[in-house]
Amino acid sequence: MVVLKTGLITESEEFISNYQYNKSLNKNIQALSYNVQNKRDDNILKQHEKRGKLLARDRIRLLIDNKSTFLEFSTLAANDKYENQFPGAGIVTGLGVINGMETVIIANDSTVKGGTYVYETIKKHLRAQEIALRNNLPVVYLVDSGGVYLPEQANVYPDSDHFGKIFYNQARLSAERIPQIALVMGLCTAGGAYIPAMSDESIIVKDIGSIFLAGPPLVKAATGEIVTAEDLGGAIVHTSISGVADHLADNEEDALLLCRNIFKHFNKPQKQPLDKKESKEPLYPIDDIYGLIPLNIRKGFNMYEIIARLVDGSCFQEFKTNYGKSIITGFARIMGYNVGIIANNGILFPESTLKATHFIELCCSRNIPLVFLQNIVGFMVGKEYEHKGIAKDGAKMIQAVATANVPKFTIIIGASSGAGNYAMAGRAYKPNLLFIWPNAKTSVMGAEQAAQVLISIKRKNKESNVPMTDEEEKLKQKILSDFETESSALYSTSRLWDDGIIDPVDTRKVLAIGISMSLNKPFPEPKPGVYRM
């Protein structure tokens, strides 16, 4: 095991300006997250309190074990969309611990448009269920929602990954014997009524919770029947007449305690064995990372310096140090957990992809989770590399990533472009969790290259040395500006291409929580596909 050395000069001008820039990027994300989590119109908050209701995050705090951490997913979903009227997409999802069991919690935030669902709300809800399914975790639903946000119905209602998938997922979770508990703490209407109905056990709060397929106004319109919400589908109705809910709670605190008590009788799953030692801090300050990341992400940086600040004791058992040097592979520990790390240190060449493929196979055969640290602009292009068969070597790495039987965790710490995004366990490759740093840039290629490609294909005269016309210059500026916006971490997280933006200094903790979570599901036997040789 080698202790990684550092060559970082923290007094250099470059370090200081990087540090200030990245720190301020991070502060901006924290401020936005704070607002999403805490800022609401005073009248809405007062009304909520008057009804005897707790806020979504306060409910979660009471539900999880005292002093335990709640790892929130996608806090900034729907950021800068819908005129910012859907902070956090009106739903809180994340991983918490209830009576010692790692659990996915999905809580509607009724202070946001009555907890109704726009596209990102559904995506966030479905992603949380997917995390539960992939990691064998119980789910608690804190239901308080008016269902579909009607003006957006065409974007949320009928398609395969729309509202109906929530209940499809509930059925699949149930078939996997994964416990699901619903706490009805507000309205639970239309399709939403199926959430408690499809859960293993449901709790409803007196005078606050109600469940119905159609609310009183719709019933009146449809049948002429006049009925109050309480008489139609209140807590007493459902716990004593219909049987749609199982437990009556006097108030929200009571409901949360009841849920904790239900958890006391679950059998805890046997965790997948994974070697774990006592956690050790890295030898170098983690916040040096702010100074390491260059202002222009395409400039590149020394990934060994990042690894040295993420792994226990800065110790790294490297694999193939001198071969395929544009990718770094090796074993290390993150807060004690044994992991295999794959990190970019330049463009992907044929040798680097073969080395990564070999390393993924090692981890799969030894049952060691993989951590991908992405800073990749893509695969090497050009005649020499096409003739060497870079496409078939890249295909091997993609094949290995897609079929790996061990949990995968991806952190986009810099650029994420081209097929490099795929080979390094991008979103489509189903890493158990994928987080990004505030400086991350995700786009199919760099903005300059995209502008060049688009201008050259539009030109009748394909000569590249012809000076640009005014129109072409305008097009170039537009592409540069669009790419700048669309590649940003905020743009990505708003659309749930990731599970959230994290402060680089929290990376170790987030990874450790994720690794521990993933051990709830036994790793299957390796089952590789056909590798093109």
Interface residues toward ligand COA, by CB under 6 A: 110, 113-114, 116, 146-150, 187, 189-190, 215
**Comparison of 161 and 386: residue with beta carbon closer to ligand COA:** 161
CB of 145 to ligand COA, least distance (A): 7
| CA atoms of 97 and 100, how far apart (whole Å) | 6
Compute the distance between CA of residue 455 and CA of residue 100 in angstroms, rounded to an integer.
58
Question: Which two three-digit tokens encode residue 466?
Answer: 């012809």
Among residues 245, 242, 216, the alpha carbon closest in space to that of 228 is found at 216
Tell me whether residue 200 is exposed, middle or buried, using C-beta atoms within 10 angstroms of its C-beta: 0 to 12, 13 to 18, 19 or more: middle
- The residue sitting closest to ligand COA, measured at its beta carbon, is 146
CB 439 within 8 A of CB 22: yes
Q: How far is the CB of 50 from ligand COA (least distance, A)?
A: 11
Q: H or E segment at 121?
A: helix 119-135
**Which residue has tokens 């990505």?**
492
Give the closest residue to 422 by CA, choosing from 380, 374, 488, 388.
Answer: 374
Comparing CB distances to ligand COA, the nearer of 189 and 353 is 189
Q: Which is nearer to ligand COA, 179 or 209 (CB)?
A: 209
Closest contact distance (angstroms) between CB of 442 and ligand COA is 32
Backbone angles phi, psi at 251, to 5 degrees: -155, 180
DSSP secondary structure, 238-281, as one string:
IIIII-S-SEEESSHHHHHHHHHHHHTTSPPPPPPP--B-----
What are 60's two structure tokens?
């979660």
Q: Measured from the CB atom, is 97 or 143 closer to ligand COA? A: 143
Least CB distance to ligand COA at residue 143 (A): 11
Q: Whose Cβ is closer to ligand COA: residue 148's or residue 360's?
A: 148
Cβ distance to ligand COA smaller for residue 165 or 355: 165
The angle at the Cα of 509, spanning 508 to 513, to the nearest 5 degrees, equals 120
Query: Least CB distance from residue 111 to ligand COA, whole Å?
Result: 8
Least separation in angstroms between CB 47 and ligand COA: 7
Q: What's the closest the beta carbon of residue 157 comes to ligand COA, in angstroms?
A: 8
- Choose between 175 and 226: whose C-beta lies nearer to ligand COA: 226
For residue 319, give both structure tokens: 């694999």
The sign of the dihedral angle between the CA atoms of 253, 255, 258, 259 is negative
Least Cβ distance, residue 113 to ligand COA (angstroms): 4
Residue reference for tokens 């073969």:
354
Residue with tokens 């999905």: 106
- Please report how close the Cβ of residue 173 comes to ligand COA at its closest, in angstroms: 22
Cβ-in-10-Å burial (0-12, 13-18, 19+) of 472 comes to: middle
Of the pair 108, 442, the CB lying nearest ligand COA is at 108
* Nearest residue (CB) to ligand COA, 116 versus 329: 116
CB of 10 to ligand COA, least distance (A): 49
Cα gap 143→180, rounded to integer Å: 13
Min separation Cβ 375 and ligand COA, Å:
42
- Minimum distance from residue 255 beta carbon to ligand COA (Å): 18
Handedness of CA 207, 66, 109, 221 (dihedral sign): negative
Counts of helices then strands in the chain (DSSP H, E): 21, 16
92 contacts: CB under 8 Å, gap ≥ 6: 56, 57, 60, 72, 105, 106, 107, 109
Q: Which lies closer to ligand COA via its Cβ, residue 148 or residue 415?
A: 148
Of 234 and 426, CB closest to ligand COA:
234
Based on CB atoms, which residue is closest to ligand COA, 118 or 310? 118
